[in-house]
Structure 1
C-alpha cells in the first residue's frame, strides 16, 4: 500500500463513518458532519481554545469553524465563555456532561453503513470487517496524529 492508497482508504472510511452517524431530528445543517467532528475533536484536545486557533490547527476556514462551534454549542457538546484576557473572543471547551446527542452518536452502530459500502447484508462478513476495523483503531487512535507533522 502506498500513501495515495492509504489516503483513499481513509477517505472511504470517513464517508462510511459519516453515513453511520444518525441525523434524524438534527434539522438543516450548514456544516458537514466531517467538519463538525474535526472541530469537536480539536476542541476536546485543546481546552480553552478559540475559533481562530481551531482554524489554524485544522486548516478549516474560520467561518466554517464558527458555524461548527455554534452547532456544537447548540447541541450541548461544547461550552463557550468570554475570554477574560480579550473580551472580544470566546474560549471554547468540551462540555463534561454527556448530552443526549453525544450519547446517540456514540451508541450508533456502523453495521448498516458498512454493509451498504461492502454491498452485502451478510452479518458474518460485516462482523468480520468491524473486528478488523476495531483492531486497526486500537493501533491508530487519534493520539497518533500528534506524532505526525
Structure 2
C-alpha cells in the first residue's frame, strides 16, 4: 500500500470516528458527540460531547449555532433554592483551560435546541457550529442517538 493510500485510509477512519478539529494554531478536539430528543414530536432537544482544548492557551466556548432550531443555547442544570434542578442558559459560556476536556453531558452542561424546525430521528445528523472566544468557530456534525444511555457517554471529567 502506498503512503498516499495509507494517508487516505487514516483520514477516512478519523472522519468516521466523529472527531472535529479547528484549523490553525488554535485546536480543539470534539468527540463522543450525540444529540437526543425525548420523543418524536418533541419541540426541544439537546446535544452532548467532550471538547478538548489542545491549544496553548485557555479559551471559552461562548456560543453555539445550528439551523435545526429557532434558538440554540449553552445550558446547564443548577439546583434552585427549593432543591429542584432547573435548566438555565449560560450566557458567559464554558471556560476550557489549556489541555483540559470539558464534558457536555446529561444533567450538566449541554447544548439546548429549542423550537426544533424538524423532527430529530435516530441516525439523523445535526450540523452545529461551536464558537470559541479566541479560537473562533468549529463546525461539527452531531449524530442523533435516541438509544444511548446516559452512563454510556464516557468517563471524562471537566
Both structures adopt the same fold (TM-score exceeding 0.5): no
The higher relative CO (CA closer than 8 Å, separation ≥ 6) is in 2
- TM, length-normalised to structure 1: 0.25
Whose radius of gyration is greater, 1 or 2?
1
Counting helix residues as a fraction of each chain, which structure ranks higher?
Answer: 1
- TM, length-normalised to structure 2: 0.24
